[in-house]
Amino acid sequence: MFARPGPHPTPSQRTLRLAWWLAFIFTIALVAGISSARATELATTPGAAAISPPFDEGECEADEPDCAEEEGYEEECELSEEDEEECIEAGDGEGEAPPECLLTTARPRVSISSAQQRLRLDLRYTLTDPADVAIGLRSSGGKGSVTVPATKHHLSHSGSFHETFELSEVETERALAAKQITVRLHVLDVPWSCHRYDFHHLSVRHGGQQSPVFSETSTDLRAGR
């Protein structure tokens, strides 16, 4: 007894199945190609990388060349007290930031009180428009560094900003021995080129050993800024 052969697909059915499989494979390849192209575009498009976190533990991100340059300058200025004057001159000369950077002028000053174990930041500034600014600082010296994590503040067009930070006994000792204090004023939502103006190196020290005051220039100290 012979089995009856099953029905064979007609040529039109075979064509439809083949077309369906080809369309399915093409769709998968197309989706994979679009995903790969999008990933490549994000990796190569300028400005695609997120802006690095504002002054965090005093370390720069690997993709932040301006920050790396500033940190290198700071280390260089710690090498020798004989070169202190040259370091101060090398750190100056940035000038005013262009209007698109919003924070056009900034004159920070930091004072330290041994008796109260406090660090105080005083800042005089001008902005082309009110903006959110992340403010942090770090001291550097022979006894180690003190880092104040960045916090965001909304600043008006111009004026003065003041903030006081409590220090531990060890932090107070390190701050009193500081040779330089770096203040970072990181304006949010501005062009990447503006971040070269973020860092302010306060290398001019004035006052007694137990209550020093740091500023960028002697003029800032005389003006009481």
Q: Is residue 51 part of a domain?
A: no
How many structural domains are present in the chain?
1
Q: What average pLDDT does the chain have?
A: 75
pLDDT at 174: 96
pLDDT above 90 covers what percent of the chain?
52
Domain that holds residue 192: 65-222
pLDDT at 7: 56
Q: Is residue 154 part of a domain?
A: yes
User: Residue 70 above 70 pLDDT?
Assistant: no
- Cα–Cα distance, 117 to 97 (Å, whole number): 34
9 pLDDT tier (thresholds 50, 70, 90): low
Give the residue, 57 or 117, on which the prediction is more confident.
117
pTM: 0.59
Q: What's 146's DSSP letter?
A: E
Q: Is residue 128 part of a domain?
A: yes
pLDDT at 102: 95
218 pLDDT tier (thresholds 50, 70, 90): confident
Q: Is residue 143 part of a domain?
A: yes
Q: Is residue 195 part of a domain?
A: yes
Task: Convert the pLDDT of each residue in 163-184 to its tens digit.
Answer: 999 999 999 999 999 999 999 9
User: Residue 51 above 60 pLDDT?
Assistant: no
Q: Is residue 194 part of a domain?
A: yes
Give the residue, 48 or 155, on which the prediction is more confident.
155
User: Residue 131 above 90 pLDDT?
Assistant: yes
Q: What is the mean pLDDT of residues 77-104?
A: 57
Asked if residue 54 lies in contact with residue 150, where contact means CB atoms within 8 angstroms, the answer is yes
Query: What own/partner pairs with CB < 8 Å and gap ≥ 24 does 63-72 have?
Result: 64/195, 66/195, 66/196, 66/198, 67/195, 67/198, 67/199, 70/182, 70/198, 70/199, 70/201
DSSP bridge partners of 208: none
Q: Is residue 174 part of a domain?
A: yes
User: Residue 54 above 70 pLDDT?
Assistant: no
